[in-house]
Amino acid sequence: MFGFGKKEEKDETQNPEYLALVAKWDSFLEKIEARFNESLAPAEEAVLDQLEEGNYDMVSNMTAWSGIKSQLLQLEDKIETTFDDKVGPQMSEYVERWNLIDQDQKGIALRESFRPKIERFEIMLEGKVAQRFYNHAIQFLNEDFHCTQCSGKLEIKKDIFRSHYVGCDYCNTTNTFTPNDKIAEIRWVVDDIAKHKALKEWDEKESARKACKSMRSLSEDEDKTELAAAYDTWEAKEKAFWTKYFTERASYVSDYKDTIAHDVEVKMNWAFYDDKKRSDLYN
């Protein structure tokens, strides 16, 4: 009657065969999520093992992580192509396209959950790798270094990982200490150690940022008190993160000690104030 198709004559979303497909799709997504979660621990182990096996070569170590990361991200594609090529077409035999939106959404939600998890995992992993590298490389500074003039033992600074002058306490000769490549590399890995140590603050600033960005957009004449409060919270958390990060970094490399406040200010400009300036607070 009235020319309606078969799909609209009765509620096919309750059809047992359709429901079986929904259950199969749910089970598929559960398996993918479980595989993602259970892959993180072996990934960490593999990358940390590779560091020692690869003689603390940070470039090949990070490439190894990059390979694992791309495998984890392939799960995103797998969800998308499975829905497009199999789930969607099979379900369409029972229901209309708009009934598939909820099913597609389940896959999208799972896909979108992967990157933030990887980002956080990466901070932890790179922090651990960097700490191991540091523990290895810093030992080279425990070796004895001697004055070129009188052979007296030199006291090398353990928080400057570049060439520097070292005065001899015995004969006052100024020596030049040139670190080996591993020692020089410490300067770069401390960034990852510092970020890992500021993970609690990173979590807090991320959740404050998300809370702020998830607020609905406001027109000129709407009350902006709540939005302003959300920006205030984000500002405080963002600042706390960068302060912790730069303070930790300076505890390893003394070159950075005098610039903490300035470095925080620079980061706050691009990580927070640029966004705030463009927000609905000023429209």
Partner 1 sequence: MEINGTTFEDYALASANAAAGMSKDDIAKVFGLELPVWEATEQQWIGKMSEFSPGGPEMQFFGEAFMKPKQGKFANVEAAADSSDKILEKYPKWSHHIKMQQHFAIADEVGIHIDFQKEYGISMTEYAQLGMHWGGIFREAMMGGDNEKMQKLSKKQDKLMKKWEDHFKEMYKDQDSGIGDDIDF
Binding site for partner 1 (CB under 8 A): 24-25, 28, 31-32, 35, 39, 59-60, 63-68, 70-72, 74-75, 78, 82, 86-87, 162-165, 176-178, 187, 255-256, 259, 263, 266-267
Residue whose CB is less far from partner 1, 120 or 187:
187
Three-state SS annotation for 26-89? HHHHHHHHHHHHHHHHHHHHHHHHHHHHCCCCHHHHHHHHHHHHHHHHHHHHHHHHHHHHHHHH
Tokens 């992967």 correspond to 114
Cα–Cα distance for residue pair 20/35, rounded to 1 Å: 22
Residue 5: CB minimum distance to partner 1, A? 26
Residue 60: CB minimum distance to partner 1, A? 5
Amino acid identity of residue 271, one-letter, is A
Residue whose CB is less far from partner 1, 35 or 278:
35
Residue 67: CB minimum distance to partner 1, A? 2
Give me 160's structure tokens. Answer: 């400057």
Q: Are 160 and 177 in contact (CB under 8 A)?
A: no
Cα–Cα distance for residue pair 203/237, rounded to 1 Å: 9
Residue whose CB is less far from partner 1, 213 or 262:
262
Residue whose CB is less far from partner 1, 146 or 157:
157
Residue 184: CB minimum distance to partner 1, A? 9
Cα–Cα distance for residue pair 124/133, rounded to 1 Å: 14
Would you call 135 helix, strand, or coil by DSSP? helix
Tokens 């940022």 correspond to 209
Cα–Cα distance for residue pair 12/195, rounded to 1 Å: 52
Residue whose CB is less far from partner 1, 105 or 259:
259
Residue 58: CB minimum distance to partner 1, A? 11
Residue 227: CB minimum distance to partner 1, A? 27
Residue whose CB is less far from partner 1, 65 or 133:
65
